[in-house]
Structure 1
């Protein structure tokens, strides 16, 4: 017998994600990581899941019926407010409208006349976009946008929900991070099966084409087991080592964390608290769940606009 749909509770999340609400949906299918597509909530299910219907992804050739699928709450966010000023610069993290969705990238070059080259690290390629096809990149974390939208001052339902129900969002100070040989960093990989993970490395020397040679801390060279592996990595795949955060006695369901696995830190969401300092972590990029000890987890932080940001604990 099929389980009954769960009636949406009065929590902050269900207030924002009620049936009929317009949302953006992230897709964890391979090749779509980092993209967001518009749709609406059809109904709530048990276990923090929702049935959604896409606006632009259709199930028929005539384009009259939107695709419906079940997604986790971590794959949903409200429609971002429109920004009044779009003053882009080289190096900005942006979302580019491509193939009916918004894809995360970084502006790598200005062509002038409102045209920009955007570099997508998951594809390792650049494409040209106009001002109208770009928006500044933001994340929806615990009921708040990071970085915040400065013009979001009206008494909208989302703002009231974030203010009254959700933890405050904390933004760290600017970090003076320079690409210098010998600097300890974390590096993300482009290879299938490794997306969503960060690996410790050391900067060795700059290379042409916005790249830097790095030496991994935990990977050895296939041709010489006595040497650590070195690779040329795009600077857009490199970030400083995250600062140490206050110790967390216990993580909660839906906390965003990094889990240490296969010599790297993989971003995920706590889906179950098992007790005895054990948790089940859901990884959106691979659509998998795994069990971890508390000591194998750290608070997730994002490197945004040369500073570390995270959701505070209350």
Structure 2
């Protein structure tokens, strides 16, 4: 596996969220009442006292995925590991909303034993169903790549010879080469079913939400671009800038024009990536990578990875690292998982503004 661009990953300890240990008791009771002797004779009470028998059965209501011995994948959103998943085995309960897992490929700091951690239920899913991919992956197809002892979500950026691919990771703005055998089709576990490629269902339309005009640096000029520089290309309709698409500078065309190659947009007549000459005002450098380990909050400004680009929006609701994001450009609300979001940043007068404060 050859590296096209060096990938930035921090060597930190993984943090996890936890799962719920919920037990319920079912109580059934049998009450022995006096019998009536006859409609014409007085009712006689038995000398024996009334007996109340209570049968208690403790039932474990936790799904099988959280039971001891279950094979799972654990997601992390730590900086440098954003959205990666690691195989593990559940080895016990760890209290409310938590279980204890032992990782297959992660070890302790001294590398003498397998890493054991408490994790939250929102970070756990079953091991995906195994599907053998006999034919080649396609351009712009979402895949999981085996990298640094875990599965990393990316998109096929180039289909190369000898069953190799260049995979683009939007969380790090990097492109890395992988062999076919080190990739798998991306699947999401939605409503207890495996769905190939991530499905972002439309949650709601809310025309009453006030439109927000994005403040952009329209007069900021970008100069001295170098060939091979990672950039993002602005797209929008009307008065709204709606999306940033990742691209790379190929070469300057004139003083204010550059030829760029999009990383995730394919031409209509073939598998080649789109190349386009653009004015400098439509281009900005790729923003610094900010990976949000904490859950986003309502009203946070975010970019959501959707349809091969970063759509600009705002968190409407947040729960268990899933969000409803409002897009003012289309006046719509769409649901996203945490790994598909990044803090929104603006490039104004040569400086990055935004992100988030810890």
Residues 200 and 336, structure 2, Cα contact 8 Å, conserved in 1:
no
Cα distance in 1, alignment partners of residues 261 and 200 from structure 2: 34
Q: Deviations over 1:163-188 (max 9, x none)?
A: xxxxxx9978xxxxxx9954464559
* Structure-2 change in CA distance of 1:78 and 1:233 (3 Å): farther
Matched with 1:51 is 100
Paired residues in the alignment total: 197
Deviation at 1:7, TM superposition (A): 6.3
Matched with 2:211 is none
Residue 80 (1) aligns with residue 132 (2): no
Deviation at 1:90, TM superposition (A): 1.2
Matched with 2:292 is none
Residues 157 and 168, structure 2, Cα contact 8 Å, conserved in 1:
yes
Residue 264 (1) aligns with residue 313 (2): no
* Structure-2 change in CA distance of 1:188 and 1:30 (3 Å): farther
Residue number among 21, 26, 42 corresponding to 2:91 in the alignment: 42
Residue 300 (1) aligns with residue 348 (2): no
Cα distance in 1, alignment partners of residues 197 and 178 from structure 2: 24
Deviation at 1:110, TM superposition (A): 1.5
Residue 141 (1) aligns with residue 141 (2): no
Matched with 2:140 is 91
Matched with 1:19 is 68
Q: Give the match's secondary structure for 2:63.
A: helix
Q: Give the match's secondary structure for 1:16.
A: helix
Residue number among 172, 175, 188 corresponding to 1:123 in the alignment: 172
Matched with 1:208 is 260
User: Relative to total residues, which structure has the larger helix share, 1 or 2?
Assistant: 1
RMSD: 4.2
Q: Deviations over 1:64-83 (max 9, x none)?
A: x2111111111111111111
Structure with the greater alpha carbon radius of gyration? 2
Deviation at 1:299, TM superposition (A): 5.6
* Structure-2 change in CA distance of 1:259 and 1:103 (3 Å): same
Q: Which runs of 5+ in 1 are unaligned?
A: 150-168, 173-178, 190-204, 213-228, 235-256, 268-277, 285-296, 303-314
Matched with 2:81 is 32
Question: TM-score normalised to the size of structure 2?
Answer: 0.45
Q: Deviations over 1:119-163 (max 9, x none)?
A: 1112211111111000011111231222289xxxxxxxxxxxxxx
Q: Give the match's secondary structure for 2:64.
A: helix
Residues 133 and 185, structure 2, Cα contact 8 Å, conserved in 1:
no
Cα distance in 1, alignment partners of residues 245 and 66 from structure 2: 32
Residue number among 117, 126, 150 corresponding to 1:69 in the alignment: 117
* Structure-2 change in CA distance of 1:60 and 1:38 (3 Å): same
Question: TM-score normalised to the size of structure 1?
Answer: 0.51
Cα distance in 2, alignment partners of residues 280 and 180 from structure 1: 27
* Structure-2 change in CA distance of 1:107 and 1:211 (3 Å): closer
Residues 258 and 265, structure 1, Cα contact 8 Å, conserved in 2:
no
Residue 109 (1) aligns with residue 158 (2): yes
Residues 258 and 300, structure 1, Cα contact 8 Å, conserved in 2:
no
Deviation at 1:51, TM superposition (A): 1.4
Cα distance in 1, alignment partners of residues 156 and 303 from structure 2: 26
